[in-house]
Copies of this chain bind each other. A is one copy, B any other.
Amino acid sequence: MRTNGITMKSSPAFYSQGLETYQVPMTLYAENRHKVLTSLLQSTAPQTTRTRGIVLLQGGTQPTRYDTDHEPVFRQESYFHYCFGVHLPDCYGALSFDTDGDGGGTTSYETTLFVPTWDEEVATVCGEPPDLEEVRREWGVDSVRSVDGLAAWVEEEMRRRGWKEKKQEGLGNGGEDQPKLFLLRGLNSDSGNYAQPAHYEGIEMWDDARDEETLFRCLAECRVKKTPAEISLLRYTNYVSSMAHVSVMRECHPGMMEYQLESLFMHHTYYYGGCRLMSYTCICACGPNERVCIAHVSLSYSTFANRTNDEPFSTRFPITNGINLPCQIHQQNTAKILHYGHAGRPNSRLLLPNDMALLDMGAEYHCYASDITCSFPVSGSFTTDQRSIYEAVLNAQIAVIQRLKPGVGWVDMHRVAEREILRGLLACGVLVTGGEEEDVDKVIDTMLDVDLGAIFMPHGLGHFIGIDTHDVGGYLEGHPPRSSRPGLKKLRTARIMEEGMVITVEPGCYFINRLLDGAMQNEKQGRFINVERLRDFRGFGGVRLEDNVVITADGCENLTQCPRSPEEVLDVMNGGQWPPKVDVLPELKRRWAVCKDGAMEMMDVELMHKA
């Protein structure tokens, strides 16, 4: 294999926000680049004996708000971050390579980072321009240049790699032996937007060398399976967010406002964990909030959730010309929903004694996300009904985590969760067997056949997580397509699990009047509903439990370290220790770890389980 000869380059550099926060080694990104290039060479191998050229990515730009000079905190574009780990705006990054570069079938490549620089006049008021050698060491790349020299560098590098001008009309330039300019372009299956290819003034001269097909496929797929370094970083964000959830549980009491819980969470993760940004807007949904607590992104629910895989995106989401706006913040002209935590409902409810709190909050660190949901009774004790629903959801979570391993299909896992939730609803009398045979599992089979699960869990079981909360790769080519069935069509992936995937497991149970009313009027579903008993649950709100789980060689490991059993929840709410002395729920596969000296240190799980 031609990639055998790629030499990984290492660097002592790391990113840390300071104090006891995690130290992200820049080798994480070197390894990512290595993976991408390896994948790209494998991908082109069947067609050509020699691949060479430049992989060029453009980083995010610093936006300003409307017509003003207000600058929101910059967040790097995710593909760029994956390859370079550089949190500065307005950069470009390149991998230039040649499979024959140093002979013998090996591949040599160089990583070049392009950063903004400025002149003396600007420096007078704005500070010295960056020292490029210092920047190079900081980010662990081969060389750093001013972004002003990008166009010239690409030309020089393409020629050095063997680019020859078109000799005559009609001959064409896309020959096997010409170097290529690999650019990113591809569909995000959660938003319907397209990743936009890098752009700079003058890039048109390489139109014959452009390849927009290969890179996205390789890069998106690389992001799906995490390296150990990425998993360790995700373990940190889960650690920080888990401890912040515990802190919020301890502070929470009736008479507070939902937004105060959001504030506590953000403060804890930033102050103690160095996490400046949330992975997504906090959802603090307490009380009878119904539908609004099920989505932390509105668009996907309002549009994608209802599309099938057969519908081409292009007809519904016209792509605007990306020229000169390759990394802008996109906007969609689709219906907007006032979902929880967002503008329309800014976590602004007063907490009442009988409320269930559903808190979906996760912080990110150096652009790696966490996405965790805890549910608990605001008062510090469960009513019988609250406990029934909570346990149904917890059983769903355990059932999925117990089964997760390579080779298992995500759609099947969604069904496993629905099954446990329906079982719980049967147990507490909201559902009845409807005159069916008494074998509960057979009754549930019938319920699933008539899509009753989607009435109570109208969202997907979970999604990939990584640099994006809804991470890429859910519906890449060559993998199972999106289902068109209720519930299943909401899944952000239908893939078969593979080692290294990190995915959220987030079963939930909600009592949504509109859905319940529909089900009651639907003969096939309605016969299973005990209308009388259901009344007790109108206005109940919802319960969701969400962990972030990594698929291992023979099972899975839970990165989230939150209280999950009803006793654990009540215990920490009343001041109990966390993490606990004894892990009473080893079935959840929580892997206990703390951050020490900038690295994640595992705790002795065996000892905990035995103690």
Say yes or no: is A52 at the interface (Cβ < 8 Å to chain B).
Answer: no
- In the complex the two chains form, what is the Cα distance from A549 to B74 in whole Å? 30
Please report the C-alpha to C-alpha distance between residue A303 and residue B317 in the assembled complex, in whole angstroms: 36
How many residues from A make CB contacts under 8 Å with B?
97
Chain B residue contacts of A297, Cβ below 8 A: 69-71
A332 contacts partner chain B, Cβ-Cβ < 8 Å: yes
For A19, list chain B residues within 8 Å (CB).
Answer: 257, 350
Determine whether the beta carbon of A89 is less than 8 Å from that of B346.
no
Of the residues B262, B295, B300, B305, contact of A270 by C-beta under 8 Å? B262
Interface string of A299-334 (1 = CB under 8 A from B): 111100110000000000000000001011111100
Contact A188 B468 (CB under 8 A): no
CA of A87 to CA of B344 in the docked complex: distance in angstroms?
7
Most buried by B among A72, A188, A328: A72
- With A and B bound together, what is the CA distance between A344 and B295 in angstroms? 33
Assess the B266–A342 pair: CB atoms within 8 A: no
A263 on the B face (CB < 8 A): yes
Number of copies of this protein chain within its complex: 2
Q: What is the CA–CA distance of A27 and B402 in the complex, to the nearest angstrom?
A: 58
Q: Complex formed: what's the CA distance from A299 to B331 in Å?
A: 23
Across the interface, A335 reaches (CB within 8 A) one of B118, B188, B257, B338, namely B118
Contact B62 A125 (CB under 8 A): no
In angstroms, Cα B276 to Cα A515, docked, is 33
Assess the B124–A515 pair: CB atoms within 8 A: yes
Out of B116, B127, B191, name the residue touching A290 (CB < 8 Å).
Answer: B127
Q: Are A195 and B67 in contact (CB under 8 A)?
A: yes
Interface positions of A from 388 to 438, Cβ below 8 Å from B: none
- With A74-B342, A281-B71, A339-B126 as known contacts, state yes or no: A259 contacts B348, CB within 8 Å: no
CB-CB nearest in chain B for A121: B306
Interface of A (DSSP majority class): loop
| Any B CB within 8 A of the CB of A60 | yes
Q: Once the chains are docked, how many angstroms separate the CA of A469 from the CA of B68?
A: 9
User: Chain B's nearest CB lies how many Å from the CB of A292?
Assistant: 5
Q: In the docked arrangement, what's the CA distance between A69 and B122, Å? A: 36
Contacts of A276 in B (CB 8 A): 259, 346
**Complex Cα gap A292–B330 (Å):** 30
Per-position 1/0 for A247-276, Cβ under 8 A of B? 000000000010110111011001100101
Q: How far is the CA of A36 from the CA of B453 in the complex (A)?
A: 54
Q: Determine the residue in chain B with the shortest Cβ distance to A471.
A: B68
**Nearest-Cβ distance from residue A286 to partner chain B, whole angstroms:** 12
The reply to whether A301 and B125 contact each other, CB–CB distance below 8 Å, is: yes
Question: Which chain B residues border A301 with CB–CB below 8 Å?
Answer: 125-126
How many Å from the CB of A308 to the closest CB on chain B? Answer: 14
Q: A122-B302, A127-B290 are in contact. Are A72 and B69 (CB under 8 A)?
A: no
Residue A280 lies at the interface, judged by CB distance under 8 Å to chain B:
yes
Cα-based distance from A148 to B266 in the complex (angstroms): 37
Check A17 against B344 for contact (C-beta < 8 Å).
Answer: no
Contacts of A126 in B (CB 8 A): 291-292, 295, 298, 301-302, 337, 339
Q: How close is A264's CB to chain B, nearest CB, in angstroms? A: 7
Interface presence of A196 (CB below 8 A): yes
Q: How far is the CA of A190 from the CA of B122 in the complex (A)?
A: 17
Q: Are A69 and B335 in contact (CB under 8 A)?
A: no
A87 to B329, Cβ gap below 8 A? Answer: no
Whether, in the assembled complex, A600 has its beta carbon less than 8 Å from a beta carbon of chain B, the answer is no
B71 touching A298 by the CB < 8 A rule?
yes
Contact with B along A523-554 (1 / 0, CB 8 A): 00000000000000000000000000000000
B295 engages A125 (CB within 8 Å): yes
Q: How far is the CA of A349 from the CA of B344 in the complex (A)?
A: 37
When C-beta atoms are compared, the residue in chain B nearest to A513 turns out to be B128
Could you say which of B262, B292, B299, B342 contacts A64, with CB atoms under 8 Å apart? B299
With A63-B330, A67-B188, A122-B306 given, name 5 new contacts (CB 8 A). A66-B330, A88-B344, A126-B337, A127-B292, A328-B329
Question: Can you name 5 A-B residue pairings with CB atoms under 8 Å?
Answer: A18-B257, A68-B193, A88-B338, A118-B335, A126-B295
